[in-house]
Amino acid sequence: MGNKLRNIFTALIAGLTVIILVLTFNTNNVKAANNYTNTDMITSGSINKQDKIYSMSSTVPITYEYDTTGYKLENGDTLTIDVPSPLAVTPNDTPFNVVGDNGEVIGTAILNSSNQIVVTFNENVEELESVKGTLSINTGVTVDRNKAQVGSNDVDFNIKDGNTQQSILQTKASDKNISKKGVFGTDAEGNEIVTWTILANRNELNFGTMSAHDTITDPNLEYVSGSVVVQEATWKDKETGTYKRGDTVPSSSYTLNESGNGFDLTIPNSGKQMYAITFQTKVTDPSKVTDGTVFRNDATMTGRITGSGNEAQEINETASGKVSGGTNSGNGSGNKLGAVTLTKFNEQDNTTPLAGAVYDLYKVGSDTPVQTNLTTDENGQIKLTNLSAGDYYFKEVTAPTGYQLNGNEIPFTVTGQTTTPVQVTGVDEPEKEELGSIVIKKIDAETGYKLAGAEFNIVNDKGEVVGTITTDRLGLGHFYNLPIGHYKLVETKAPEGYLKGEDVEFDISTDNLTPKMISVENEKEIVGEDSYSAVLQKFDRDDLTVGVPGAEYTLYGDDGIALETAVTNELGVIKIDNLKPGKYYFLETKAPEGYDLNPDKIPFTITENSNETGVGTLETSDPKTVTTEPGDNNNGNEGNTSEPGDNNGNEGNTQEPGDSNNGNEGNTSKPDENDKDDNDNGLIVDPEHPNTDNGNTDEGGLITNPLNPDTSNNGNSSTSESNTDKLPQTGTESGLLASLLGFVLLIGIAYLNRRHA
């Protein structure tokens, strides 16, 4: 019996051990995300158009600027921005992209129910030293009618370091007799629709017969026949635009004539009653719901009212309805964290990689290493990442076995514009070969700019030329296999536009086979008496160390008269001589192959005696041409969210819904978006004030399907199924305790088996 119990006990312990070990090895280590706020990163917040007068609950476009300097962003980090009162956020869990300066998505943002904008950064920010950018919120932020007053309102945006930035919000009450709004939704078949609400006789005038007319002219919309529903409506608070719906008016009490693109509705003896008239239109292209397309629709109200002395007055007013979605945007730009790969070779053949060479990394201007004891691997390489922009150099501290130490600095530059590794090489000579090497750097004497194309002879003490050097695009030149001796570096050809530099003498000795890098400066040419020059250098925008040849530029005077046309040389350089003091500008007239034309002027001014030779080197860059696949439909207007012709050539300006202030200033929320309970009976929202909180009263619900006015969401559940299979980024779970416990149990099993064997 004892053995049986012992076997059962052993089996239980073994099973428990297996479970613990399984849990241990399946433990997910989840890194905690950093949650930043306004006071950490927001440098500016403002209302875009402070001179505009907004109706209550109309859309208010706002802009935030942010700067992450001082905070190293990682994947999953968030930036939560509190939108100030009296502005109200319409929650929308559909994210919009935050795009980096090279077009990559660095995060997404949503508008939440806590009156906040939440940006979640992704893994692409980990390549950036810091990020500076803008969030443009064109839809989804409105006037909070419950907190705003008619007239002037101060809006205090909380920004970095506890400071505030103030904007002015001007609001007004409506005196229109008709207004109209639209909201996105879906019908029973899942089709994208816009439900329109016309609020007729807003001022409750005494009509005899009142008519409402609506004709769909927007090519993106189709009228849904049979969708018209008429309800009585009464004001709760006219100044703030809140009202409630009453009884549905039976069809026998009005005349409705429908056509393929709209309807005419007539209500006889309507009196002072205000009416809410709803109907639906189908969106012909569902993709336009999220691409910023503005859907438009106009409604007209006509009728006769009796004035003093029984004089009849004709009423004929029109309300323009607009609705759009997906026009929020964000961007960010910053220096990318760069990378470098050093490859070490045997100088004898320049192909055999050398493992075991030890280097320190320095930043130019500092005697303290950035990193030490960097050792070449079996491929002769050292690979480094996450380097901030700047000038660096490697310095060898230990040579591989059998090779001489090479004391030459190996310089390189991280531009901050790309993560592509900079490729540099180093060579070592075998021991007992009394041969040395030099590295030279060619720079502009005034600016320190690195100069390519300088040619040198290396002359020994007998006057013999023993080697030549030509500086590369980084202004660097190398020469190896120099025997011990005294030498002179003689410049035989200066870079274009420069005078030759002076000769430089140096020694290769047993104690110093690799002298310190030799820096050779060049002065610019002075052409003509009292004349000046201008130098323009063009770069590849993705790699600001690469000059771009073949770009044609025309130089203009301040009066717009063309003076001279030139093409960039193999280094991307144009030099114009014999210029007098005055104002000028370069303009690209033909882009090099593979690049887009840069339309920006490059202005400069030459002032007498301000510069001995001119204005120095002007710099510009071009983006490479992006090939668009057939069907992309971008047509070069990717930033234009307005309809063709709306902006009279200002296609980059996002048109805001509601500019006409006709009672429907850009509500883009989907039906039932603000309802916290599908069965609530919320307060009805004025079409001119579409985002009133439907606050769980018993005074009638928001109607989203005119065909079924007793429902509030058309049967469409908003339950989200996303992220249910992912761990939240809230902390790190450790499996150490479980591992120790499992180990102890295994020892216990072994002990029992040994004891009773």
Q: Give me the DSSP letters along 17-48.
A: HHHHHHHHHT----PPPPEEEHHHHEEEEEES
pLDDT band at 267 (very low <50, low <70, confident <90, very high): very high
pLDDT of residue 755: 57
pLDDT of residue 706: 37
- When mean pLDDT is compared across 135-139, 359-363, 428-432, the lowest value belongs to 428-432
pTM across the whole model:
0.50
CATH number, domain 532-622, options 2.40.40.20, 2.10.109.10, 3.40.50.2000, 2.60.40.10: 2.60.40.10
The answer to whether 545 and 413 are in contact (CB under 8 A) is yes
Q: What is the mean pLDDT of the chain?
A: 77
Residues of the chain with pLDDT > 70, as a percent, come to 73
Give the closest residue to 610 by CA, choosing from 582, 571, 578: 582
pLDDT band at 433 (very low <50, low <70, confident <90, very high): low
The answer to whether 668 and 324 are in contact (CB under 8 A) is yes
Task: Report the amino acid identity of residue 191.
Answer: N
User: What backbone torsions phi and psi does residue 161 show, to the nearest 5 degrees?
Assistant: 65, 30
> Above 50 in pLDDT, residue 326?
yes
Query: First and final CA of the chain: distance in angstroms?
Result: 16
* Sheet bearing 164-172, strands edge to edge: 53-55, 164-172, 151-158
> Above 50 in pLDDT, residue 710?
no
pLDDT band at 660 (very low <50, low <70, confident <90, very high): very low
Q: What SS3 string covers 505-542?
A: EEEEECCECCCCCEEEEECECCCCCCCEEEEEEEEECC
User: What backbone torsions phi and psi does residue 580 show, to the nearest 5 degrees?
Assistant: -90, 160
Residues of the chain with pLDDT > 90, as a percent, come to 31
Q: Answer yes or no: same fold for 35-172 and 178-326+668-685.
A: yes
Question: What tens digit of pLDDT does each residue of 535-563 get?
Answer: 888 887 776 666 788 889 999 998 888 88
**Which CATH architecture does the domain made up of 178-326+668-685 adopt?**
Sandwich (2.60)
When pLDDT is averaged across residues 429-454 and rounded to a whole number, the result is: 79
Q: What SS3 string covers 172-210?
A: ECCCCCEEEEEEEEECCCCCEEEEEEEEECCCCCCEEEE
CATH number, domain 332-428, options 1.10.760.10, 3.30.70.890, 1.20.140.10, 2.60.40.10: 2.60.40.10
pLDDT band at 757 (very low <50, low <70, confident <90, very high): low
Give the closest residue to 92 by CA, choosing from 290, 297, 240, 296: 290
pLDDT of residue 719: 36
Give residue limits of the domains in the chain: 2-30+739-755, 35-172, 178-326+668-685, 332-428, 434-523, 532-622
Domain 434-523 has CATH 3.40.640.10: no
When pLDDT is averaged across residues 195-209 and rounded to a whole number, the result is: 91
Task: Report the amino acid identity of residue 565.
Answer: T
Burial of 52 (0-12, 13-18, 19+ CB in 10 A): middle
Question: What tens digit of pLDDT does each residue of 302-314 get?
Answer: 998 865 445 678 8
pLDDT band at 696 (very low <50, low <70, confident <90, very high): very low
pLDDT band at 634 (very low <50, low <70, confident <90, very high): very low
pLDDT band at 713 (very low <50, low <70, confident <90, very high): very low
For residue 86, is the peptide bond before it cis, meaning its omega torsion is within 30 degrees of 0?
Answer: yes
Question: What tens digit of pLDDT does each residue of 38-58 get?
Answer: 999 999 999 988 888 887 767
Question: What tens digit of pLDDT does each residue of 466-509 get?
Answer: 999 998 877 888 898 888 899 999 999 988 778 888 899 999 98
Q: Which two tokens stand for residue 281?
A: 């239109």
Of residues 646 and 443, more confidence is placed in 443
Of residues 533 and 339, more confidence is placed in 339
The answer to whether 729 and 28 are in contact (CB under 8 A) is no
Of residues 184 and 705, more confidence is placed in 184
Q: Which two tokens stand for residue 242?
A: 């809140």
Give the closest residue to 66 by CA, choosing from 35, 89, 40: 40
pLDDT band at 22 (very low <50, low <70, confident <90, very high): low
> Above 50 in pLDDT, residue 381?
yes
pLDDT of residue 361: 95
Q: Which runs of E-coded beta strand occur in 356-454?
A: 358-363, 371-375, 381-387, 390-398, 410-414, 422-428, 435-444
Look up the CATH number of domain 35-172: 2.60.40.1280
pLDDT band at 27 (very low <50, low <70, confident <90, very high): very low
Residue 612, Cα to own-chain centre: how many angstroms? 43
Question: What tens digit of pLDDT does each residue of 152-183 get?
Answer: 899 999 999 999 999 999 888 777 889 898 88
